[in-house]
Structure 1
Amino acid sequence: MEISFVGAGNLAWHLAPALENAGHHVNEVYSRQLQHSRQLVSNLYDARTHSDLNFADSPSQLFILAVPDDSLESVCSQLVLPENAILVHTSGSQSLSKLERWETIYSDVPVQTGVFYALQTFTRGRPFMDFMDIPICVEATDKETEDILVKLGQELSDIVYIITSAERSTLHLAAVFACNFTNHLLTIAHDLTTAQQLEFDLLRPIIRETIQKGLSVDNPADVQTGPARRGDLSTIERHLAQLENAPQLAEIYQLITKNIIQRYRK
């Protein structure tokens, strides 16, 4: 399939090479940051940078919007596509109906719309990721487009689901808790240790065991440990005393502790 990317950020950095490795051809890459599109194109077979959002003469059949959620409508309002092209966004939280509505408003030609959401955290500049075990969540406004996106997903991954916008939004919310919030808590742990000239490496074994243990069971609640789980109020009070001069961290500590205690209260 002939494909063009609108956006050259974290996701595009990994998805574009993966599509080429699966036998597809990336024609063009557009990015507001020309350096990003040039860097991505340098990792592709014979793609070229595209200077604007007018793709009317593009040979591509599929156009992948790999841009931040709050830029989607603005990009759609300027995007010019070939007739009967397929336009997909890659957002976890934006609905398909919004994309369909924007294309109805802004496009002068018929365009099929869909969603091609890879449920993973991506960072540009890191080694290219193998998509084989990354869930691909697909949605489309018509069966023909859905079939095309499912086939495309299956060429990349062993895990392809057809899900609704509401289901995808729930997955995205859950991923924020499991991924983004977890990483932020690790950042807080790093700040606490380094502030006392302690090596963050001392925490790596317990972090590794916690994640591995949580993933080894059906419900991570079954392996919850710690003072809140035990109802160890004296330890909790000592921890809060240590955070006396860090009220924001104390608030986070209290909120999570309260939630754990309430969940496991007998």
Structure 2
Amino acid sequence: MEISFIGAGNLAWHLAPALENAGHHINEIYSRQLTHSRQLVSNLYDAHTLEELNFADSPSQLFILAVPDDALEEVCSRLVLPENAMLVHTSGGRSLVSLEQWMAIYSDVPVQTGVFYALQTFTRGQAPMPFEDVPLCLEASDPATEEALVTLGQSVSDIVYLITSEERRALHVAAVLSCNFTNHLLALAYDLTAREGLEFDLLRPLITETFRKGLAADSPADVQTGPARRGDQTTLETHLDYLKNMPGISEIYQVMTSSIQQYYSPLP
């Protein structure tokens, strides 16, 4: 398939090479930050950069919107596509209907729309990630576009699902809880150990075992441990006393403690 990218950030950095390695052809890369599009192009076979959002003469069939959610409508308002192009966004939180509405308002030509959501965390600048085990959650405005996206998805990943916008929103919330929030807690733990001159490496075996157990269990709830789970009020008070001059972390600690206690409290 002939493909162009609008956006050259975290996702595009990994998805564009994966599609190319699967035999697809990447034609153009557009980014507000020209250095980003040039860097991504340098990792591809013969793609080139565009400095404007005018793809009217593009040979591409599929255009992938890999931009932040807050920029989607503004980009769509300036986007010029060839007739009957397929346009997909890659957002976990934006609905397909939103993209359909924007195209109805802003596009002068018919455009088929869809969603190509890769359920993984990506970081620009790292070695391109293999996509075989990356879940792809797809949605389309019509059967022909759905079929094209499924075929495209299956060419790069072994895990392809058709998921509605509502299901994808729930999945995205779960992803934020399990990925972004978890990583932030690790960052706070790192800061605490650094504050006391301790090595973060002391926590690595604990972190590794926590994830191993949680992923191996039928439900992570089955292997929950810690003072909140066992109702150890003395330890909880000791920890909060230590955190009394760190209001941000103290608030998180109390919210998480309360959530664990409520989760495991006996039903009335």
Q: Normalising by the residue count of structure 2, what TM-score does the alignment of the two structures yield?
A: 0.98
Match of 2:132, SS state, is helix
Query: What corresponds to 2:9 in structure 1?
Result: 9
CA distance in 1 between counterparts of 2:7 and 2:255 reads 38
Please state how far the C-alpha of 1:265 moved relative to its aligned partner: 2.0
Please state how far the C-alpha of 1:167 moved relative to its aligned partner: 0.3
Query: What corresponds to 1:72 in structure 2?
Result: 72
Match of 2:168, SS state, is helix
Query: What corresponds to 1:149 in structure 2?
Result: 149
Match of 1:212, SS state, is helix
Query: What corresponds to 2:204 in structure 1?
Result: 204
CA distance in 2 between counterparts of 1:50 and 1:82 reads 15
The yes-or-no answer on 1:59 pairing with 2:62 is no
CA distance in 1 between counterparts of 2:147 and 2:123 reads 29
Post-superposition, which runs of at least 4 consecutive aligned residues in structure 1 deviate over 4 A? none
What pairs with 1:166-177 in structure 2 (closer than 5 Å)?
166-177=166-177
What pairs with 1:171-190 in structure 2 (closer than 5 Å)?
171-190=171-190
Aligned length: 266
Query: What corresponds to 1:219 in structure 2?
Result: 219
Q: Normalising by the residue count of structure 1, what TM-score does the alignment of the two structures yield?
A: 0.99
* Unmatched runs of 5 consecutive residues or more in structure 1: none
Query: What corresponds to 2:29 in structure 1?
Result: 29
Query: What corresponds to 1:159 in structure 2?
Result: 159
- Paired AA for residue 154 in structure 1: Q
Query: What corresponds to 1:133 in structure 2?
Result: 133
What pairs with 1:230-245 in structure 2 (closer than 5 Å)?
230-245=230-245
- Paired AA for residue 16 in structure 2: A
| Residues 67-116 of structure 1: CA deviation (Å, up to 9, x unaligned) | 00000000000000000000000000000000000000000000000000
* Unmatched runs of 5 consecutive residues or more in structure 2: none
Please state how far the C-alpha of 1:193 moved relative to its aligned partner: 0.5
Please state how far the C-alpha of 1:263 moved relative to its aligned partner: 1.2
- Paired AA for residue 111 in structure 1: V
CA distance in 2 between counterparts of 1:217 and 1:252 reads 26
Please state how far the C-alpha of 1:212 moved relative to its aligned partner: 1.1
Q: Quote the sequence identity (%).
A: 72
